[in-house]
Chains A and B, each alone.
Chain A
Amino acid sequence: MSSQTLSQTKDQAVTTGRDGAVARPQPVRVPAVSVRETEQAIVLDADLPGVSLDQVEITIDQDVLTLRGTVAPVAHDGYRLLHREYAEAGFARSFTVPDGIDRQQVAAAVKNGVLTLTLPKQQAAQPRRIAVQTG
């Protein structure tokens, strides 16, 4: 996993206020993501600390999967920032979806700030055993 860097990309996440007005764009970081493959699915684990399930946005457009997570900034009234090693910012990252994924069955779960996205393979893409009939 690569270390997280704060970057203001052209593709900034835009936060929307309750009345639909577009607020200031929130800077985003690129989250660390692990990708692994099982017999049934491709599984992504994305580190999105500070992002709860309702703050995650997952979109698939053509063959591009985009993950976005917004982080509610935590106020520290009455305190000064003395030392900073990471920026409290949202996340965004895109991937190319391989062929053979059943997009209707994509599942997402969030636990302890990690988003687990399961992309099930279509039946045809799963290994299938052919029974051999004895003649």
Chain B
Amino acid sequence: MYTNDGSFWNVFSDFDRLFASVGRNLGATRAGTPFPGDAAPALNVWGNDDALVVTSEIPGVDPANLGITVHGDTLTVKGTRVVAPAREKQPERSAEFQRSIQLPYRIDAERTEARCRDGVLSITLQRSASDKPRAISIAAS
């Protein structure tokens, strides 16, 4: 699939690739406290020319604590995972994560749907109508 400027879409921009090579925990787009022992959750992306499905495994995250935002061609997922303490009398620990991903085209935020079940998040995003290629008719002179 190609983006509007003709370049092949790769979710890792050069900027991101630099950080990814240094270690997952240092990703510029993966801000926030990582999951205990882990970086922000992994994402899979499925798509065609009109829609995308982004899935992620977020076990232990209460869907009520999820914040999903769409702006232009960027999807951001934020959440909190509560972790039971290692020792009985200690308080619960809370780990927050946030991850932004740049999509191959701009999204119609109104038609975005998200579902979370058994710790698996699935977000369906529709391409913005104004983002689709449009044929221009030539007026007869």
Contacts and interface: CB of A to CB of B under 8 A. Distances in A.
Contacts of A78: 48
A51 B53 contact: no
A48 interface: yes
A85 B46 contact: no
A40 B49 CA distance: 56
Nearest to B63: A112
Interface in A9-36: 32, 34, 36
Given A51-B118, A79-B46, A112 B85 contact: no
Contacts of B77: none
Contacts of B118: 49-52, 110, 112-113
Chain B interface size range: 35 or more
Contacts of B1: 80, 82
B120 A36 contact: no
Contacts of A74: 55, 122
A49 B58 contact: yes
B36 interface: yes
Given A34-B84, A36-B84, A112-B60, A50 B120 contact: yes
A81 B36 contact: no
B91 interface: no
Contact of B59 (A37, A47, A80, A81): A47
A82 B47 CA distance: 6
B120 A113 contact: yes
A50 B121 CA distance: 9
B37 A1 contact: yes
Interface string B41-69: 01111111001110101111111000000
5 contacts: A39-B88, A50-B57, A74-B122, A112-B59, A113-B118
Interface of B: 1, 9-11, 35-38, 42-48, 51-53, 55, 57-63, 83-88, 104, 118-120, 122
Give the top 7 A-B pairs by smallest Cβ distance, nearest first.
Answer: A113-B119, A85-B42, A49-B119, A79-B46, A113-B59, A49-B57, A86-B42
